[in-house]
């Protein structure tokens, strides 16, 4: 078998950014005190590394370091935001492209707090909502909160979250940027968004078990996890100030150090350059696949803003079996199925079979994309065993 090809960046990035693994090892070997707890050499070293990483992460995303919160993943921060913002009778609008990290907490809150949830139809082909659709829906009935993905984890389509947030102000908009952070250029400081959630291990090229919450001015969610922070230890209440208010418990220092190093590398390369590379490869892949009889690209719009994630289906082929064959016979790693976004597949007409999803990252090459296209051609012409 030729060299293996990793095309599953929508699930998690691999390999990580140069410098990430070294920074994690350095933290573990030299600085692994408990940050903010006590005053000895190792606790100070850990605090310094974590605060330096926080600044690098905030810098890349255009955020205020004090309002850049570090935690275990996008799922954790989305749960925190939804549980702390929605109360009995609250009404929330969302797109049909949302991930289960949004759908499942909302379902639980519908049952437990009787919140009201309305899913926007979006464009019939892509599911992407427009400003006018959102304003129409709000014109019929107000809402307390909007939650929107910045980019679909199924089709790679980018949603106009900044335009929508501007149009619906002062209703707060929470953005799930798990698929967008690091994958498309973004400056939080100029976005009228209440809260922006990033996954550390996807487009930001950091380690698993890391995620970032950016808070806009004036948006202060309640913590859902309470515990030690190393500060105000005499009080049984969580401190009022950030980041401590939302960061109880010993942080993932190695993960944060790794994520900081990844963000530094991304800042050097430039998110714009990396994003353009991924988009260019996605368009090469799309046109190669579209030329194969029986291959469809649900939700694909060549003219729209997009990430390097692209879904396709091959007529008459089970997505799981085809992904297994690609891995076994061709050494190509893709993800098949529903990608934790069943509502998106319902909207795109690919439920319950799902799609094959290619997730292109900064280290993929044109050659690798051509190998995928050639493999799908072979699968269509000769079948798979
Ligand atoms: C759109 C979207 N939101 C949220 C998540 C959850 O991210 P994390 O793994 O950081 O919890 C994912 C990851 O699959 C995702 O694609």
pLDDT per residue as tens digits for the range 281-313: 999 999 999 999 999 999 999 989 999 999 999
What's the pLDDT band for 51 if we cut at 50, 70, 90?
very high
| 172 CA → ligand 1 middle, Å | 21
pLDDT at position 385: 75
As a whole number of angstroms, the distance between CA 153 and CA 116 comes to 25
Please tell me if the CB atom of residue 199 comes closer than 6 angstroms to any atom of ligand 1. yes
What's the pLDDT band for 384 if we cut at 50, 70, 90?
confident
| 74 CA → ligand 1 middle, Å | 6
pLDDT per residue as tens digits for the range 318-342: 999 999 999 999 999 999 999 999 9
Continuous segment of H or E residues that includes residue 297: none
Please tell me if the CB atom of residue 12 comes closer than 6 angstroms to any atom of ligand 1. no
Helix axes 161-168, 131-140, angle to 10 degrees: 30
Region 345-359: mean pLDDT is: 94
pLDDT at 79 over 70: yes
What's the order of all strands across the beta sheet hosting 355-359? 295-296, 309-314, 355-359, 335-337
Mutate to test the pocket of ligand 1, among 99, 148, 156 (most ligand atoms within 8 A of CB): 99
pLDDT at position 296: 97
As a whole number of angstroms, the distance between CA 363 and CA 72 comes to 25
Please tell me if the CB atom of residue 355 comes closer than 6 angstroms to any atom of ligand 1. no
* Ramachandran region, residue 3 (left: φ > 0; alpha: ψ -120 to 50; beta: rest): beta
As a whole number of angstroms, the distance between CA 172 and CA 81 comes to 11
What's the pLDDT band for 1 if we cut at 50, 70, 90?
low
Please tell me if the CB atom of residue 79 comes closer than 6 angstroms to any atom of ligand 1. no
HSE toward the beta carbon, residue 194, CA cutoff 13 A: 22
> How many residues belong to the chain?
385
Please identify, by atom number, the ligand 1 atom nearest to the C-alpha of residue 339. Answer: 14
Please tell me if the CB atom of residue 341 comes closer than 6 angstroms to any atom of ligand 1. no
| 73 CA → ligand 1 middle, Å | 8
Question: Which of 162, 168, 147 is CA-nearest to residue 99?
Answer: 147
Residue 148 in tokens: 């929107």
Please tell me if the CB atom of residue 8 comes closer than 6 angstroms to any atom of ligand 1. no
Please tell me if the CB atom of residue 176 comes closer than 6 angstroms to any atom of ligand 1. yes
Please tell me if the CB atom of residue 259 comes closer than 6 angstroms to any atom of ligand 1. no
Residue 77 in tokens: 């921060």
Please tell me if the CB atom of residue 179 comes closer than 6 angstroms to any atom of ligand 1. yes
Q: Average per-residue pLDDT in the chain? A: 96
Please tell me if the CB atom of residue 198 comes closer than 6 angstroms to any atom of ligand 1. no
Phi and psi at residue 243, in whole multiples of 5°?
A: -80, -10
Ordered by where they begin, the domains of the chain are 5-16+271-382 (3.90.1150.10), 20-269 (3.40.640.10)
| 340 CA → ligand 1 middle, Å | 9
As a whole number of angstroms, the distance between CA 284 and CA 297 comes to 13
What's the pLDDT band for 36 if we cut at 50, 70, 90?
confident
Please identify, by atom number, the ligand 1 atom nearest to the C-alpha of residue 210. Answer: 10
Question: Looking at per-residue confidence, does 214 or 302 come out higher?
Answer: 214
| 201 CA → ligand 1 middle, Å | 9
Region 355-382: mean pLDDT is: 97
Please identify, by atom number, the ligand 1 atom nearest to the C-alpha of residue 75. Answer: 11
Please tell me if the CB atom of residue 105 comes closer than 6 angstroms to any atom of ligand 1. no
Please tell me if the CB atom of residue 211 comes closer than 6 angstroms to any atom of ligand 1. yes
pLDDT per residue as tens digits for the range 230-240: 999 999 999 99
Rg (CA), the chain: 21
Q: How much of the chain exceeds pLDDT 90, in percent?
A: 96
Mutate to test the pocket of ligand 1, among 202, 204, 205, 262 (most ligand atoms within 8 A of CB): 202
Q: What is the pTM of this model?
A: 0.97
Q: Which residues pair with 117 in a beta bridge?
A: 92
As a whole number of angstroms, the distance between CA 23 and CA 44 comes to 17
As a whole number of angstroms, the distance between CA 60 and CA 268 comes to 10
Q: How many Å separate Cα 48 from the centre of its chain?
A: 27
Residue 268 in tokens: 């050097």
What's the burial of 240, exposed, middle or buried (CB within 10 Å: 0-12/13-18/19+)?
exposed
HSE toward the beta carbon, residue 196, CA cutoff 13 A: 29
| 75 CA → ligand 1 middle, Å | 6
Phi and psi at residue 313, in whole multiples of 5°?
A: -130, 150
Continuous segment of H or E residues that includes residue 113: helix 100-113
Question: Which of 304, 68, 78 is CA-nearest to residue 176?
Answer: 78
| 12 CA → ligand 1 middle, Å | 9
Q: In the chain, how many H helices and how many E strands?
A: 11, 13
Of 37-46, 152-161, 371-380, the least confident: 37-46
Please identify, by atom number, the ligand 1 atom nearest to the C-alpha of residue 149. Answer: 1
pLDDT per residue as tens digits for the range 117-160: 999 999 999 999 999 999 999 999 999 999 999 999 999 999 99
pLDDT per residue as tens digits for the range 182-196: 999 999 999 999 999
């Amino acid at each position: 078998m030729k060299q293996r090809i990793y095309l599953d960046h929508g699930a998690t990035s691999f390999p990580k950014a140069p410098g990430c693994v070294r920074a994690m090892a350095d933290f573990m070997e030299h600085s692994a005190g408990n940050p903010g707890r006590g005053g000895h050499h190792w606790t100070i070293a850990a605090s310094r590394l974590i605060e330096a990483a926080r600044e690098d992460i905030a810098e890349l995303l255009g955020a205020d370091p004090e309002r850049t919160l570090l935690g275990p993943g996008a799922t954790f921060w989305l749960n925190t935001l939804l549980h702390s913002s929605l109360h009995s009778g609250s009404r929330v609008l969302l797109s049909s492209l949302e991930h289960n990290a949004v759908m499942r907490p909302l379902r639980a809150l519908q049952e437990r707090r009787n919140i009201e949830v309305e899913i926007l139809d979006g464009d019939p082909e892509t599911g992407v909502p427009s400003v006018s659709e959102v304003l129409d829906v709000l014109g019929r009935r107000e809402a307390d909160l909007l939650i929107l993905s910045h980019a679909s984890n199924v089709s790679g389509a980018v949603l106009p979250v900044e335009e929508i947030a501007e149009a619906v102000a002062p209703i707060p908009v929470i953005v799930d940027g798990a698929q967008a952070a690091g994958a498309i250029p973004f400056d939080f400081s100029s976005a009228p968004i209440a809260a922006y959630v990033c996954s550390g291990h996807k487009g930001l090229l950091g380690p698993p078990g890391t995620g970032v919450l950016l808070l806009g001015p004036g948006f202060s969610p309640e913590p859902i996890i309470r515990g030690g922070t190393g500060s105000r230890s005499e009080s049984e209440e969580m401190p009022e100030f950030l980041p401590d208010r939302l960061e109880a418990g010993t942080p993932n220092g190695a993960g944060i150090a790794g994520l900081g190093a990844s963000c530094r590398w991304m800042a050097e390369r430039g998110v714009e350059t990396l994003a353009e590379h991924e988009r260019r490869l996605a368009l090469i892949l799309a046109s190669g696949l579209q030329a194969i009889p029986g291959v469809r690209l649900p939700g694909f719009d060549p003219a729209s803003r997009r990430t390097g994630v692209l879904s396709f289906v091959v007529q008459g082929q089970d997505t799981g079996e085809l992904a297994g064959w690609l891995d076994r016979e061709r050494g190509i790693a893709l993800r098949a199925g529903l990608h934790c976004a069943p509502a998106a597949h319902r909207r795109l007409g690919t439920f319950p079979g799902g799609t094959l999803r290619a997730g292109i990252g900064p280290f993929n090459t044109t050659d690798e994309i051509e190998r995928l296209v050639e493999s799908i051609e072979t699968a269509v012409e000769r079948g798979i065993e």
